[in-house]
Structure 1
Amino acid sequence: MGLLSLSIWLPIALGLVIVALGRDEHAKAVRWIALIAALASFAVTLPLYMGFDTAQAGMQMVENEPWIGRFNVNYHLGVDGISLWFVLLTAFITVIVVVAGWEVITERVHQYMGAFLILSGLMVGVFLAQDALLFYIFFEATLIPMYLIIGVWGGPNRIYAAFKFFLYTLLGSVLMLIALIYLYIHSNGSFDLATWHKLPLSASAQTYLFFAFFAAFAVKVPMWPVHTWLPDVHVEAPTGGSAVLAAIMLKLGAYGFLRFSMPIAPDASHEWAWLMILLSLLAVIYVGLVALMQQDMKKLVAYSSVAHMGFVTLGFFMFDPLSVSGALVQMVSHGFVSGAMFLGIGVLYDRVHSREIATYGGVVNTMPKFAAFALLFAMANCGLPGTAGFVGEWMVILAAVKYNFWIGFLAATALILGAAYTLWMYKRVYLGPVENDDVRGLTDINAREMLVMTVLALAVLWMGIQPKPFTDVMDASVQQLLKHVAVSKLN
């Protein structure tokens, strides 16, 4: 078993052990075992970065073994500059979520911790799979632990939110399965992605495939107008579920566009780029305006996530090295920033049991340390230079201005809208005099919460100040992808 397999199966195996053997009466021991398992899973991913050759564009550390011989399905894994950071981000966020739920989750602790570890391994599998059927299995399997996390540990309407999440994402995936079967037949019985990338496909076939993949990936991103499931799910999900959903699971759809839509149907991707750009701008502007109207902190950050992910799809479909790299950087930075925002809301909710902005006011007077971290994450969410939130958005805006001035101009309005809704929320929650007894009785963050906030703050600042390690890893793979997409497959 190579490093890629270990990155997938170690958290899954340890998660299953915790679920099977853990008991509520041994909750303290379960928490420590889960933390050790998450740290071990993260440690396994670090050699992937240390041994990665940034000059090489293709797949590295490849593992390829026959799996289902009759249908020519292989257990085929590989990592390149596009997927590497998402593997590391997934394992990193899992450690953070385990620590964040340390004292908050008091019932079925073993199932909660086990579910996140299993989910972590499945999401890593999505980023590493080079066989389409293997990708599909991992892609769909991630729904199961997240469905349980929302449905068991969520809020009062958790069952409704869990069903909505499951049905929305599963419905889109049915069309993707049909596309996979078509490509399997058309390639004479192969599920290998590299083989599919070379298939000569007609214009009509590419268009049908493009929209079949769009149905699955747009819902997962989520793009406007199929984004309506996200705010409901975020409101009802436990804090850890919201953090993982925003930081990692939304990236699975965006990643699918790079692995399937663009390289398999390059001509259709160019033909329908205007539609993707239009929908992305609607997400950036319209959903940003919707965020301004929210009275629930989680809903505000959920709509903020839709707007920020609009930059990702906008960057992809301008087919420029700067825009695609910027979109990838935006995906990673959004993982840090949105995860931090949701975990910060969880800190307040654990104390006051309310997400309503009107419930708070003057939190800085009783929780000054926490308010300082919240300000940093709010500024990162606005895209302040020097934070992770700035780098990707700025790269995409620069590429957009080069592509079309008005597209760049409209995209840049996101910086204004982001500052408006984020700072407006911060002002009402944290600044001014203490508004009520709930806020007056708050205690500042403890050592565990301080650790979580500090680690995330360092990640946000590191990426904002020194983004070069991130872009260096991506460059060769992005160039190769765009070179491939630029070549027409039409006869």
Structure 2
Amino acid sequence: MLFFLNCNPILFLSILLLCGILMLIFFIPANKINYLKIFTFNISSIIFLFSLNLWINFFDNTSCFQFFNTSNIIVNSNLMYVIGLDGISLFFIILSTFLINICLLISWNSINFFLKEYLICLLFLEFCLIQVFCVLDIFLFYIFFESILIPMFLIIGIWGSRTRKIRAAFQFFLYTLIGSLFLLISIIYIYTVTGTSDLLILWFTDFSHYLQFILWIMFFFSFAVKIPMVPFHIWLPEAHAEAPTSGSVILAGILLKLGGYGFLRFSLPLFPFACIYFSPIIFLLSLIAIIYGSLTTLRQIDLKKIIAYSSISHMGFVTIGIFSLTVTGIEGSIILMLSHGLISSVMFFCIGILYDRYGTRILKYYSGFSQIMPMFIVFILFFSFCNISFPGTSSFVGELLILIGLLDTNFSLVFITLLGIVFSTSYSIWLLNRISFTSLNLKYFVYFQDISRREFFIFVIFSICTIWIGVYPKYFLNSINFSTLNLVKHLILN
């Protein structure tokens, strides 16, 4: 008991998750369905509450890493298990623990086979995500970064909803794995040259400009596939279309943020000159992603692919904000990533509700649902407005800060970026109109049911979160500010 009281809180979260996984594997039989669900939900809820406690005990007025801990993995070696949190990583951990908890509620009645294995995959995924956002060793980061592929591959391939799920799982796995091989090669080279993989030491290592170019490109391929940036986005719509609802929530809500986090944590501080040099290319690719993602969304007929392509567009805003290389732009990109994690997740949940009831995601079958599912339409209306960055919502804060940051970098980029907001409004209102209004299609549907209490509870939680970030962003920006200031100062000094 004394060990847990004195334990580093991040270590405590990790140990608790590992204990929960071991309990599921060895002590709870697979036929005890209710015990499995309740036990996993309780463990995940405790993890989420403790992650909130990290925020409560977080000091806003410092850029130093907090809850810092270091220990040897291999005796007499330079490989260390170094963990710590700053304002950038804090909210990604909270987002991860929150969405895993929500995924358990979403899939409460929809996963009907191999339930025990599914719950183990979710907890293992949560463990890897926490490690990714807190480890300060690039080699360990790579290990956990790639370990996430295993449970996601299984979730898509086993519990996917359609016949192409195996193909989509392999496509997701191979695309992201091949992209990450460039990251592994560069990490091995860095370790060979410097003799360490500790990020805090590498921050003060002066790489030559030529070497920065090479290493930045290697890191870029890995992170660009994860975001995903155009033209590395091919795997995303297929993976979303075949994944179960909880898998789509994890993909859109958390995994797409790994690329942006990688740019912030590694590319910007390690290769500052290369980031400045290659920023025009990032702007070009991001603008293509914004315009292409929005226009492609307008021509989709699969509901999941509509949200998937819209995610490509929104993540284009994120990369523009990151490579604006301004405090305001970077803060806006972090807020937008958090906002997108919430809004895209709940939009996939909306689609999951329709699919669970009617067994199809083809848009032409849905119309006039305001007559038969009024509560559902109220919520999808609200989240559609969140998706178009309506003032008072979380996306508005993120996109506004990004545009303000761009004003200091390239004024002409602001006007082109604003086209993305116009297009996002177009496809969001178009989708809402198709589902909600026009005449009810009684030819295809004879059974109608509005949202349940569990679904209503999930919608309310997401609504509160998006309004909270939109109305009171200072609670989040205060924690982020010193970390982003430190990052930009490091770019300027180098």
TM range, smaller chain? over 0.9
Matches within 5 A, 1:160-239: 160-187=167-194, 189-239=195-245
Aligned partner letter, 2:404: L
Partner SS for 1:375? helix
User: Structure 1 pair 440/469, CA: closer, same or farther in 2 (3 Å)?
Assistant: farther
TM-score (norm 1): 0.97
User: Structure 1 pair 9/223, CA: closer, same or farther in 2 (3 Å)?
Assistant: farther
Deviations 1:18-68 (A, max 9, x none): 244444531122111111011011112122101100001010010111112
- Per-residue deviation, 1:16: 4.1
Aligned partner letter, 1:121: F
- Per-residue deviation, 1:485: 1.2
In the alignment, the residues of structure 2 paired with residue 55 and residue 294 of structure 1 have an alpha-carbon distance, to the nearest angstrom, of 46
Matches within 5 A, 1:248-397: 248-397=254-403
Q: Do 1:401 and 1:409's aligned partners in 2 also have CA atoms closer than 8 Å?
A: no
Task: Identify which range, 144-153 or 105-114, moves more after superposition.
Answer: 105-114
In the alignment, the residues of structure 2 paired with residue 438 and residue 340 of structure 1 have an alpha-carbon distance, to the nearest angstrom, of 26
- Per-residue deviation, 1:441: 1.9
* Uncovered stretches (5+) of structure 1, i.e. residues with no partner: none
- The count of corresponding residues between Structure 1 and Structure 2 is 487
Aligned partner letter, 2:230: W
Is 1:450 the equivalent of 2:456? yes
Partner SS for 1:318? coil
Instruction: Give the structure 1 partner of residue 251 of structure 2.
Output: 245
Question: Identity across aligned pairs (percent)?
Answer: 37
Matches within 5 A, 1:363-442: 363-442=369-448
Partner SS for 2:31? helix
Is 1:115 the equivalent of 2:121? yes
Instruction: Give the structure 1 partner of residue 165 of structure 2.
Output: 158
Deviations 1:92-124 (A, max 9, x none): 111111011101111111211221111011111
Is 1:17 the equivalent of 2:44? no
Q: Do 1:24 and 1:107's aligned partners in 2 also have CA atoms closer than 8 Å?
A: no
User: Structure 1 pair 385/440, CA: closer, same or farther in 2 (3 Å)?
Assistant: farther
Q: Do 1:34 and 1:113's aligned partners in 2 also have CA atoms closer than 8 Å?
A: yes
Aligned partner letter, 2:363: I
Q: Do 1:365 and 1:433's aligned partners in 2 also have CA atoms closer than 8 Å?
A: no
In the alignment, the residues of structure 1 paired with residue 429 and residue 19 of structure 2 have an alpha-carbon distance, to the nearest angstrom, of 43
User: Structure 1 pair 65/24, CA: closer, same or farther in 2 (3 Å)?
Assistant: closer
2:472 to 462, 466, 470: 466
In the alignment, the residues of structure 2 paired with residue 12 and residue 235 of structure 1 have an alpha-carbon distance, to the nearest angstrom, of 31
Instruction: Give the structure 1 partner of residue 143 of structure 2.
Output: 137
Deviations 1:231-264 (A, max 9, x none): 0000000000000110001111110111111111
Q: Do 1:383 and 1:390's aligned partners in 2 also have CA atoms closer than 8 Å?
A: yes
In the alignment, the residues of structure 1 paired with residue 446 and residue 367 of structure 2 have an alpha-carbon distance, to the nearest angstrom, of 10
In the alignment, the residues of structure 2 paired with residue 108 and residue 137 of structure 1 have an alpha-carbon distance, to the nearest angstrom, of 27
Q: Do 1:12 and 1:120's aligned partners in 2 also have CA atoms closer than 8 Å?
A: no
Q: Could you say what the CA RMSD is over the residues aligned between the two structures, in angstroms?
A: 1.2
Deviations 1:103-147 (A, max 9, x none): 111111121122111101111110000011111111011111111
Aligned partner letter, 1:156: T
Instruction: Give the structure 2 partner of residue 476 of structure 1.
Output: 482
In the alignment, the residues of structure 2 paired with residue 74 and residue 476 of structure 1 have an alpha-carbon distance, to the nearest angstrom, of 26
1:77 to 71, 80, 83: 83
In the alignment, the residues of structure 1 paired with residue 457 and residue 20 of structure 2 have an alpha-carbon distance, to the nearest angstrom, of 24
Deviations 1:144-181 (A, max 9, x none): 11110001000211110110111111101111111111
Partner SS for 1:65? strand
Aligned partner letter, 2:144: F
1:26 to 26, 32, 35: 32
Task: Identify which range, 447-456 or 11-20, moves more after superposition.
Answer: 11-20
Deviations 1:404-441 (A, max 9, x none): 22200111111111111111111111222211255452
Task: Identify which range, 165-174 or 427-436, moves more after superposition.
Answer: 427-436
In the alignment, the residues of structure 2 paired with residue 438 and residue 149 of structure 1 have an alpha-carbon distance, to the nearest angstrom, of 30
Instruction: Give the structure 1 partner of residue 4 of structure 2.
Output: none
* Uncovered stretches (5+) of structure 2, i.e. residues with no partner: 1-6
- Per-residue deviation, 1:398: 2.0
Matches within 5 A, 1:42-81: 42-81=48-87
In the alignment, the residues of structure 2 paired with residue 12 and residue 217 of structure 1 have an alpha-carbon distance, to the nearest angstrom, of 27
Partner SS for 2:67? strand
Q: After TM superposition, what 4+ stretches of structure 1 lie above 6 angstroms from structure 2?
A: none
Task: Identify which range, 218-227 or 460-469, moves more after superposition.
Answer: 460-469
In the alignment, the residues of structure 2 paired with residue 11 and residue 424 of structure 1 have an alpha-carbon distance, to the nearest angstrom, of 42
Task: Identify which range, 401-410 or 119-128, moves more after superposition.
Answer: 401-410
Aligned partner letter, 1:428: R
Aligned partner letter, 1:125: Q
In the alignment, the residues of structure 2 paired with residue 380 and residue 312 of structure 1 have an alpha-carbon distance, to the nearest angstrom, of 16
